[in-house]
Amino acid sequence: MKTFTWTLVLCAAMAVLSHPLFAEYAATPHRDVRPGEVPVGGPGVYAQPNTTYVLTADVSSATSPVFLGKDVTLDLNGYTLTYAAGGYEHVPNYGFEEGTKHWDLTGAPGAKVEDTAKVKPFIGEKILSLPVGEEIVSPYVNLPVADRAYYGMCGVLSQKMQVHISIEAEGGRPVTCEFKWQDKVRQTCPQTCAPRLGGGVTFALMYGQAAGRYRIRVKNTGDRVCLIDQVDIRPAMDVGVSIIEKTYPWAYHRCVWSGDACAFFDYTEPGTYSTPRDGLPKVSGTGTITIRNGVIRSGFRGIRSWGIQSTAAGVTLRVENVKVVAAGINTNALSHRGRGIVKDCRFEIDTPFIINRHSVSDSPVSISGADSDVMHCQFIGGQGCLHIVGDKSRVHDNLFVNRQRVTNHYSVGLGSARGTRVYRNRFEPEIGSGILMGRAKDCEVYENTFKIMTANGNCEYTNEDYSTNAIRITDYNAKKRERGAHGNRIHHNRFEITGRHYTNYKGFMGVATAVFVSVGGGVNHVYENEIVVNHTAPDSPSLACAFYLGGSRQAGEFYRNKITSNVPAVWCGTFYGNTSNAKICENTLIKADDAPAGFTPYQFGVKGRNAKATDIEFRDNTYVNCEFGIRKCGDGHSHTRSGKSAR
């Protein structure tokens, strides 16, 4: 009987491991305020230590409604907290989806609206082509809140394109704004600007102005036709729940190129660059802040906003059973510079593009502190989902549904974290990739499921190869170990990789992979995973594989994996560059029933490119329905083979 009982327990435990348990956000019924708790019925500062503040009604603000102090609990009590609910207006037809309707093209006789599906992918289905020297002008819109930050914004497709953005008050009065701190002065409006590599949303920062009617002008001041989208004036930098240690008022466009952080611009003491205004709590030192049980929502499709933002690096922030619903450009749910514990939350983020794709922390949830924990959450949408870079953190039992339209905004980004574990998650992006391990060390990824499909091109990669990956390990082929990604272990995961071929952009070659390695600083280990690769157009120029090894002097060790594929499963020497020092051992490679004639399990090199695969070791691999074979493109490859014979 004991044997039978323990068998049942073991089977139940295995079932739990193989089918992750996903708790999720649940609507909370309202309750009465208990003795000792403090009722909250409107916006304000809630900062008495060791106090629980309880909402007694829905709360909204035209700007940022709630500021918390240290060692407090904010219980939303099933109510909704809404920020940026100021009755703002959009510029009509700001995305040119209705052609040039509402726009004054007197100064732009050559401007025309084109289809992104035919020209270049960007934000919507339409994009405006603006010739050199020409200028478009919007109608006036009402900006109802005075003395606050707005961005006059313009999406620009390429870093090679430049615009001049200006804002005018009613009657055509030009608006000029300057940001001053200490003895320095920076003009913030108007602005001449270009995005960084990969395209982005450029802007002029307007603040300190009266409420009223304003319009935006955009002029092409570059040396080529400029492709633009999302031209609007929007409230900027609003926050649902604010936790301030320092402010970071680096909100004008030049700061994008400098890589400066931005937080609480409107709440910075004038003339300073980090001091919050009088009357706001300054949260410093260690402590705990808890936010729980309700909804935080943006009241307008703004730009550069957060449901929760915290610069208190010493504080542990607990967010439990909270749903954040927000939309806009660079609109995110949670940013915290310290340790975070996020549990049973749901993040619904509609942010079709961002200001700067190189800022990978501009993800719906960004947590910087070590020993953080994100569990039982649902991430729906966003440019990426979770950026968690603190050492020895845990990400487990979550659902990630990425809508990635910009490069390198993976569902989960680990940065250079050490010792972080990612396990029992489901990665099911609508568009995009799974986990990015950039210079990560000694991290472990296990018992996750990945469903990855080739993505179409984005505005940065349209006429060349572009990869969609379940996992990417990279240090950009670092020469020094301290700059390397090494000691990472990828094991006991399940991958479903679907290759597709797209034809609307000439020269585009999509790549879909389970694991993409571009490493030079050390060895990583990929073992005992189950991978299915199904290319729906295996004879097309687009590609799919299990292991994609390129730009790697230390490609790593791959052993005891089971791979079923209808195209070459392992590719060494790729579009990304040369491959060396890969050990491919004790794997089982199965040729799928629908594999085309001439199938081989491996490929070296790329047709028309000098990408070499050298020092590749094959040992004790098993081949089912096929034999050992390498499809080689180009010369200079080298490998060794030992152990089991093909069968």
107-137: pLDDT as tens digits: 999 999 999 999 999 999 999 999 999 999 9
More confident residue, 178 or 3: 178
Distance, CA of 548 to CA of 575 (rounded, Å):
10
What strands lie across the sheet with 150-156, from one edge to the other? 112-115, 126-130, 226-235, 150-156, 200-206
pLDDT of residue 20 exceeding 80, the answer is no
592-619: pLDDT as tens digits: 999 999 999 999 999 888 899 999 999 9
Mean pLDDT check: name the lowest of 3-17, 106-120, 236-250, 353-367: 3-17
Q: Is 93 helix (H, G, I), strand (E, B) or coil?
A: coil
Identify which of 104, 126, 102 has the alpha carbon closest to the alpha carbon of residue 230.
Answer: 126
What pLDDT, on a 0 to 100 scale, did the predictor assign at position 575? 94
What pLDDT, on a 0 to 100 scale, did the predictor assign at position 22? 60
555-566: pLDDT as tens digits: 999 999 999 999
Distance, CA of 162 to CA of 553 (rounded, Å):
38
| Contacts within 8 Å (CB) and 24+ apart, 50-56 | 55/79, 55/81, 55/294
pLDDT of residue 482 exceeding 60, the answer is yes
Mean pLDDT check: name the lowest of 8-17, 196-205, 620-629: 8-17
Identify which of 149, 185, 184 has the alpha carbon closest to the alpha carbon of residue 267.
Answer: 149
- Give Dmax over CA atoms of the chain in angstroms: 89
Read off φ and ψ for residue 476, nearest 5 degrees: 55, 45
Mean pLDDT of 379-390: 98
Strands 262-263 and 248-249: antiparallel
Q: List CB contacts of 148: < 8 A, sequence separation 6 or more.
A: 63, 207, 235, 266
Per-residue pLDDT band at 14 (split at 50, 70, 90): very low
45-75: pLDDT as tens digits: 999 999 999 999 999 999 999 999 999 999 9
Per-residue pLDDT band at 551 (split at 50, 70, 90): very high
Distance, CA of 450 to CA of 466 (rounded, Å):
19
Cα 331 to chain centroid distance, Å, stands at 11
Distance, CA of 292 to CA of 280 (rounded, Å):
22
Distance, CA of 429 to CA of 283 (rounded, Å):
37
Per-residue pLDDT band at 18 (split at 50, 70, 90): very low
Asked if residue 294 lies in contact with residue 79, where contact means CB atoms within 8 angstroms, the answer is yes
And the tokens for 118?
């035919």
pLDDT of residue 474 exceeding 70, the answer is yes
Distance, CA of 508 to CA of 541 (rounded, Å):
9
Per-residue pLDDT band at 6 (split at 50, 70, 90): very low
Could you give the percent of the chain with pLDDT greater than 70?
A: 96
Give the containing element (helix H, strand E) for 514: strand 509-518
Running DSSP on this structure, what letter comes out for residue 457? P
pLDDT of residue 12 exceeding 90, the answer is no
And the tokens for 645?
């014979």
What pLDDT, on a 0 to 100 scale, did the predictor assign at position 647? 44
Asked if residue 584 lies in contact with residue 619, where contact means CB atoms within 8 angstroms, the answer is yes
Q: Is 15 helix (H, G, I), strand (E, B) or coil?
A: helix
And the tokens for 395?
């990400």
Running DSSP on this structure, what letter comes out for residue 424? S
pLDDT of residue 4 exceeding 90, the answer is no
174-188: pLDDT as tens digits: 999 999 998 999 999
The mean predicted confidence, pLDDT, of the chain is 95
Task: Give 366-388 as a DSSP string.
Answer: EE-STT-EEES-EEEESSSSEEE
More confident residue, 646 or 268: 268
pLDDT of residue 19 exceeding 70, the answer is no
CA atoms within 13 A on the CB side of 316: 11
Identify which of 228, 180, 234 has the alpha carbon closest to the alpha carbon of residue 204.
Answer: 234
Mean pLDDT of 365-380: 98
- Point out which residues pair with 567 in neighbouring strands: none
User: What single letter denotes the amino acid at residue 377?
Assistant: C
